[in-house]
Amino acid sequence: MIEHHLDVMNYDSQWSDAALRRLIRRVGPRNIGLLLVLRRADLLAHGLPNELKLNLLDELEKRVGEIIKRPLALNSRDLAVDGRKVMDLLGLEEGPEVGRVLDHLIERVMDEPELNTIEGLTALLNEMGSS
């Protein structure tokens, strides 16, 4: 929790949902609630609570709660396609390149979760294969 404590200290309302999904990915969905509790305790431990910071933390908690309710693709196992599909569509052999492609797909899904369908990811893979 300490490692990621600074991540939430810098939160502001301008963070995109994709940025919050990446935070949840880094911290882990099981730990994000604990991290927010730690941040609240830290704010309250510094004496008179800063209302602005507490309001931002309330907002962050609400936004994270809404994101957690939806299906999240946090790693390659959560993608609608697997390494075999990547190899088939891109003509790749088993190896690190398949992992790099899966990592790329995860990053795209962080930005656009609606892409995490067989059709959406297949279209992305086809684009990658033709470029």
The rounded distance, in Å, linking the Cα atoms of 105 and 107 is: 5
Q: Which residues, 6 or more positions from 124, have their beta carbon under 8 angstroms from its beta carbon?
A: 105, 108, 115
Sequence length of the chain is 131
CA pseudo-torsion sign 71, 72, 73, 75: negative
Task: Give the Å distances, CA to CA, from 86 to 22, 51, 111.
Answer: 23, 49, 20
Residue 65 CB partners (closer than 8 Å, separation 6+)? none
Residue with tokens 């609608």: 80
Q: Is 39 exposed, middle or buried (0-12, 13-18, 19+ CB in 10 A)?
A: buried
* Domain limits, the chain: 2-69, 76-130
Tens-binned pLDDT, residue by residue, of the chain (131 aa): 777 777 888 899 999 999 999 999 999 999 999 999 999 998 888 876 688 889 999 999 999 999 999 989 999 999 999 999 999 999 999 999 999 999 999 999 999 999 999 999 999 999 988 76
CA distance 30 to 11: 19
